[in-house]
Structure 1
Amino acid sequence: MTRKKIITYLMLVVGFGVAGYLLYHTFREYSLSDITGSVSEIPAYNLAMALLFALGSYVCLTGFDWAGVRYVRNDLAYPKIGLASFIALSIGQSVGMSGLSSGALRYRYYAHWGMSTEDVAKIVLLSGVTVGIGMAMLSGIVMILNPGDAAGVLRLGELTVRMIGVGCIITVAGYLVLAARLRTPLKVRSWTFEMPTLKIALAQVVIGTLNFALVSACLREVMAANADVSYLKAATAFALANVAILITHAPGGLGVLEATVRHVMGDQASIGSLVAFRAIYFFIPFFIGFPLSLIVEAMFRARKARIGSAAAPEPASA
């Protein structure tokens, strides 16, 4: 076993351990009937709106891949991009190590459609950058507009939190400046990387920020059913939860997201709302994406078999 695999497995073990501890700590005071009762108290309207915001987020996530495909100057049709993105991320965000798991699925699809390993690596890399840009923008906005909640969690002064928020916005602005001005490629072994065009970089900022804004809206919707929760506070809780998820590497943020949101929101984040959010944003897409991946894989294999049989030489006649 290679060192890379050992480190990956260790990170998964630690992630699952942290997730298990935080889930126990968050839910230990509640019975199953308490949890199901809390979920049932959420009105159907709020659940429907949360589903709508989750759908909007997954549409934005396909935009991450669209930007990556255009970055490598490929004209692959959007329906194929959307299919690959949804399957990869609906599974990757639930099983954890999203960069690796979703990257492997993306490679399976994009390679089947004629892309090279280098192109797929660039698509995954640009998608990861879009995640960082979107989270930086959302974090910067909530830290500037709502420093109190972030200061309480981070144990920093409100002025310090605002300065961190300004730094996040400046970082994104710096990325756009580099995209507009820096055209010198970076060579890594046989691969060449360069900054995206300003048009693609602007798309990354818009799509990335909108994605996380929609996820925050989904979270706020399930919490607003039982408490007067402001969108800004829900977005702050979600941004801080993502920072914690990046630090712990918990699979799908399991336990970490719930514990952080609960810490920021207090009693406004009912147990039912946390369970409903995870079901809507993680479990439902997973149970759609996983069987869809099996169907697509079967179609790939059937097509390969047809091509193979068509290319096979006919037996010589007697």
Structure 2
Amino acid sequence: MTSRDNDVFEATTPGLPVVRPQASGGFFESLRERLPRGALSALGVAASLAVFALAAYILGRTLSRLSYADLLNAFRATSGAQILASLALSALSYLFLTGYDVVALYHMRTRAPYRVAALASFASYAISFNLGFPIITSAAVRYWIYSRVALNALQVANITVFAGVTFWLGMTLVMGVGFIYGADALETLDGLPAFLHIIPGVLILAGVLFYFAWVTVDRRSIRLRGHALELPGFVPTLAQFALGVADLCCAAGALYVLLPQGVPLDFVPFVAVYVVACILGVISHAPGGIGVFEATMLHAIPAASHESILASLLLFRMIYYFLPFVVALALLGADEGARRWATLRDAIARILEERSN
């Protein structure tokens, strides 16, 4: 969470983030001050456009060569067992996502019923995955739900930031392991020597271990635009890694089980490819990484035909993204309807009681 440099505010809730004014400094602060105003934003936009344009080019070339008859046959070749397995793994992934909010509330020493935390987490992710702009959309959905149990905007911002950190910790750990243990398989995909996958994998895991040790030996905070953000300790950080890895592996598994038979790619290197595709999707700012994710996976996964992989990707998009989106909207509608009915029922009961007296 950030603010303008002259803003002064402090979280009243313990946990991540506790924001306190500090003197500016450090490499990134110095870099931001030296660059022309808006330069970093312009670079970010340029990177997003470049990734999206490249993905659109790759996807366009692939689609131009497709046989739509073969694509329909690939859909028909997907078994009911594959779809059920994908549904089950998707449900597990979203179940682990609800843990993000539970751990955040524990770290903040804030109480909320699990049903509230589960609805807030599930709905926020299901909606933000499809609409994009997750910082805005997920925070808005969370605030709409958590405000009913007296959580304020800053507490909801804390939960949103904590959940984002959990997601990236899991992503980083899985990518490091995938690059190391899937180096040989990745070499056959991109043609790069195995050591060029192992080296970044080792560096990533070293960074993960350093971060884990750094935040657990003492209370730590980082500075962001002149403000200090307190980091969680041993137990919450361990839970963050566990939940992030479990969620990501289940999400990747939901796609992996949909792949056609005979794809020469084990699960570990597949997860590494999946993580890279997710990161490129995030960089592109496309909702759910749509187009970018598919282009990356089509380019990276070896198969007898692009039609079979595209069919798996489209089914995954429906199961993991669109279906939870519909369920989330239905749950939010039902929840709001139940709240309004409870209010109306109480009002009617009071009126009848007054008239009887």
Query: Under a length normalisation based on structure 2, what TM-score does the superposition of the two structures give?
Result: 0.75
Note if 1:274 corresponds to 2:310. no
**In 2: Cα distance, 1:22 partner to 1:311 partner:** 64
Displacement of 1:189 after TM fit? 10
Identify the match of residue 213 of structure 1 among 242, 249, 254.
Answer: 249
Cα deviation, residue 156, structure 1 = 5.1
Is the contact between residue 258 and residue 312 of structure 2 (CA under 8 Å) also seen in structure 1? yes
- 2:56 touches 2:295 (CA, 8 Å); kept in 1? no
- Residues 1:127 and 2:127 aligned together: no
1:235 and 2:274 correspond: no
1:51 aligns with 2:87: yes
Alpha-carbon distance change, 239 to 149 in structure 1, aligned in 2, over 3 angstroms? farther
Shift of 1:279: 1.1
- Quote how far apart the aligned CAs of 1:100 are: 2.0
3-state SS of 1:270 partner: helix
Partner of 2:235: 199
CA shift in 2, pair 1:190/1:16, >3 Å: closer
Q: Which residue of the partner structure matches residue 70 of structure 1?
A: 106
Compare 153-162 and 219-228 and name the one that shifted more: 153-162
Report the CA distance between 1:190 and its aligned residue.
12
Of the structure 1 ranges 277-286 and 18-27, higher mean CA displacement relative to structure 2 is found in 18-27
Cα pair 1:50 1:280 within 8 Å, conserved: yes
Q: Distance in 1 between matches of 2:217 and 2:80?
A: 50
The letter of the residue matching 2:328 is G
Contact 2:263 2:302 in 1 (8 A): no
Aligned length, in residue pairs: 306
- What's 1:258 paired with? 294
**Partner secondary structure for residue 333 of structure 2:** helix
Question: How many angstroms does 1:14 deviate by?
Answer: 5.1
Amino acid at match of 1:85: S
In the alignment, the residues of structure 2 paired with residue 172 and residue 94 of structure 1 have an alpha-carbon distance, to the nearest angstrom, of 29
1:125 CA displacement: 0.6
- The 3-state SS of whatever aligns with 2:65 is coil
Q: Percent identity?
A: 25
Partner of 2:65: 29
| 1:149 CA displacement | 5.0
Taking a change above 3 Å as real, the CA distance of residues 294 and 120 of structure 1, as seen in their structure-2 partners, is same
Contact 1:94 1:286 in 2 (8 A): yes
By how many angstroms is 1:229 displaced?
A: 4.1
Whether the 8 Å contact between 1:147 and 1:162 is mirrored in structure 2 is yes
Q: Provide structure 1 residue ranges, at least 5 long, that are not aligned to the other structure.
A: 313-318
Asked if 1:284 is matched to 2:323, the reply is yes
C-alpha root-mean-square deviation of aligned residues, in Å?
3.4
Gaps of 5+ in 2: 1-36, 352-357
Shift of the 143–228 alpha-carbon distance from structure 1 to 2, 3 Å rule, reads closer
Q: Is the 8 A contact 1:87 1:289 kept in 2?
A: yes
CA distance in structure 2 between the aligned counterparts of 1:258 and 1:177, rounded to whole angstroms: 36
Offset of 1:28 from its aligned partner?
A: 3.0
